[in-house]
Structure 1
């Protein structure tokens, strides 16, 4: 466990190392469910692919150690916690984690950011506000409304959405597609038959195995091209 030093306190920073103990860095940004088995499995997969993976705890100020179940009750509880979350502080934590990885002796090469849901919104914001070397955003709900910020992003960025997402209307996704079409280095993939959080394999109410597999293959290929391990 690393320690992330922030202006308003120090917080533990879980880090996963690749088999070689060295590699490019990736900041993995959580969903509202917190640091759960799903997110740990994603970190393990990325570390196995050669990345040094760090997960900042976004809810440490309001509900330290938060992790919920992946059913309707868990969604409701997580939404209640997320209602007290300050996105600006969360973005600051993500940017601080990027800096932390850049300064880590285990990190060779660049540092990217990858997030799901809440984390997908913050990964996009981090690419606009900070200096990651690459970014991947899965179904970030605030992305369509803030897509004008794409003009501020100079690193490669990949977006993923579900065409049947009840939280992000398909028309809003189309606005992202339009912006991406004219932005060098950006790409978007829509799994038309999938809904929200379709990659989360421990959430039966969301998971779409076929869409998840396709999106993850696109993600790992993108990372190999833009942040090779």
Structure 2
């Protein structure tokens, strides 16, 4: 399916305009909306390609700049040490409530768009995996796919490094899909066990997948990229979206 990727909107968020990039089928129609949260680097080329892939399967995909109140609109951090340092600095400088406010702003905005039928899901990678988890606490979200969500087991997202994400896990009513790399040092075995135990405790509707991959194995740039795992995981995520947003 041919897509369009030139729609850019400054969505009104509680802390200011949130530059958001929209990807959607070129053919006229109304499609389910998917909020795609990036890594700490914002809208890099790999994130843009992932958004295009999802949109090409009949979805309106929104990619917000997660640091819109901290960085100039259009900022993309490089995949190098300086970029990682800046991205992590911003991750812990932003208030937890601001992350949640961004999610609500997108949840309210997307159903008003001509390309959206009002059904919503979310996908996130790394930092974005944690943001997708929190976004799924909103009842409007029917499906959430979280790739190696950082800071979830440690409760350290946002300013003060003291989030309540696992405490609020029971608020997630849609279907949740977690994907982890066993060789990811950012989320060790004990962290994955803690998260899974909490999901079992609250009776979450979730799927769980662990693969032999490093952190960022989905990123199609760099030495940790695993194209076979990417192919497998994308198919499973599409299955989740189709099942919860189309059927």
TM-score, normalised with respect to structure 2: 0.84
Q: Which residue of 2 aligns with 1:38?
A: 46
Whether 2:208 is the aligned partner of 1:188: answer yes
Q: Which residue of 1 aligns with 2:228?
A: 210
Decide whether the 8 Å contact of 2:126 with 2:149 is kept in 1.
yes
> Structure 1 residue aligned with 2:137, among 128, 140, 159?
128
Cα 1:132–1:83 shift into 2, 3 Å:
same
Q: 1:144-191, CA deviations, whole angstroms, 9 ceiling, x for partnerless residues?
A: 344342211111111111111111111211223334456352111111
SS of the equivalent of 2:64 reads coil
Q: 1:19-66, CA deviations, whole angstroms, 9 ceiling, x for partnerless residues?
A: 334311011111101111111111111110100011111111111222
Whether 2:184 is the aligned partner of 1:165: answer yes
Decide whether the 8 Å contact of 2:186 with 2:215 is kept in 1.
yes
> Structure 1 residue aligned with 2:98, among 64, 89, 99?
89
- Say which structure is richer in helix: 1
Decide whether the 8 Å contact of 2:139 with 2:174 is kept in 1.
no
- Say which structure is richer in strand: 2
The unaligned stretches of length 5 or more in structure 2 are: 1-7, 156-164
Q: Which residue of 2 aligns with 1:14?
A: 21
> Structure 2 residue aligned with 1:2, among 9, 28, 31?
9
Deviation, structure 1 residue 85:
2.4
Q: Which residue of 1 aligns with 2:117?
A: 108
Deviates more, 1:169-178 or 1:30-39: 169-178
SS of the equivalent of 1:137 reads strand
Decide whether the 8 Å contact of 1:19 with 1:48 is kept in 2.
no
Q: How many residues align?
A: 227
Q: Which residue of 2 aligns with 1:152?
A: 171
Cα 1:217–1:84 shift into 2, 3 Å:
same
The unaligned stretches of length 5 or more in structure 1 are: none
Cα distance in 1 for partners of 2:204, 2:187 equals: 24
Cα distance in 1 for partners of 2:172, 2:18 equals: 28
Q: 1:63-104, CA deviations, whole angstroms, 9 ceiling, x for partnerless residues?
A: 122212223343233223333222321221122112111222
TM-score, normalised with respect to structure 1: 0.90
